[in-house]
Amino acid sequence: MFNKDRFIADCQQALAEDSSHKAVRDVVARAVSEPDQVLRGLGEPEKGGLNVVYQSDTLTILNLVWAPMMTLMPHNHNMWAVIGLYSGREDNIFWRRVKDDPDGRIEAAGAKAMCAGDTEALGRDIVHSVTNPIPRLTCGLHVYGGDFFADGRSEWDAETLTEQPYNVENARALFEQANAR
């Protein structure tokens, strides 16, 4: 059975052994290879949310629960990330900066659909947006190589694709709006 405290300890140990995402990716992949166990261990979610499992200067673990049909605007992390889904589906669009654009605009550069049991590592410079395209909650373990809530990240306006400072309170409000729908 998935044990939250054991998972945190395994991620900490993996990070101590290798500061890149590679060892942590293996820990996350192992956990989500049994998605039902993760769901039992963390509990059945009732609504979408940005749920902190662990947070430090060097490691953040979130249990992200996407509300049905929810989309989160393009954003970066400025650190590596590992995503492991244990329920539902998550569609990622990957973006790149438009060369020499003074407004920091981005353009689509690729996409990846993830299902329960899938794991994906994102490099520190990746910009992505996320959509839960199904009419039920999607759940994933999101592990970051730093403090996810620290300043210095960016998000891009969904309509104009122009860069602005990341605002975690706006992100939390998006989850609440999606839950209300």
Mean local confidence (pLDDT), 41-65: 96
Residue-wise pLDDT for 108-123, tens only, equals 999 999 999 999 999 9
Torsion of CA 64, 76, 7, 137, to 10 degrees: 20
Tell me how far apart the alpha carbons of residues 177 and 36 are, in angstroms, rounded to a whole number: 28
Residue 181 has pLDDT above 90, yes or no: no
Query: Could you give the domains of the chain?
Result: 4-180 (2.60.120.10)
The answer to whether 139 and 39 have CB atoms below 8 angstroms apart is: yes
Task: Return the axis-axis angle of helices 22-32 and 35-42, rounded to nearest 10°.
Answer: 90
**Alpha helices, DSSP H only, in the chain?**
4-17, 22-32, 35-42, 168-180
Residue 168 has pLDDT above 90, yes or no: no
* DSSP conformational letter for 136: S
Q: How big, in percent rounded to 5, are the helix, strand and coil portions of the chain?
A: 25, 40, 35
Residue-wise pLDDT for 135-151, tens only, equals 999 999 999 999 999 98
**Arithmetic mean of pLDDT over the chain:** 95
Question: How would residue 2 be classed by pLDDT, with cut points 50, 70 and 90?
Answer: very high
CB-based contacts of 132, cutoff 8 Å, min separation 6: 66, 67, 68, 69, 70, 71, 88, 89, 90, 91, 138
Four-residue CA torsion sign, 92, 82, 48, 180:
negative
- From 20-34, 47-61, 76-90, 162-176, the region with the lowest mean pLDDT: 162-176
Sheet holding 71-76, edge to edge: 106-115, 89-97, 127-131, 71-76, 154-156, 163-165
Question: How would residue 104 be classed by pLDDT, with cut points 50, 70 and 90?
Answer: confident
Tokens coding 74: 């393009």
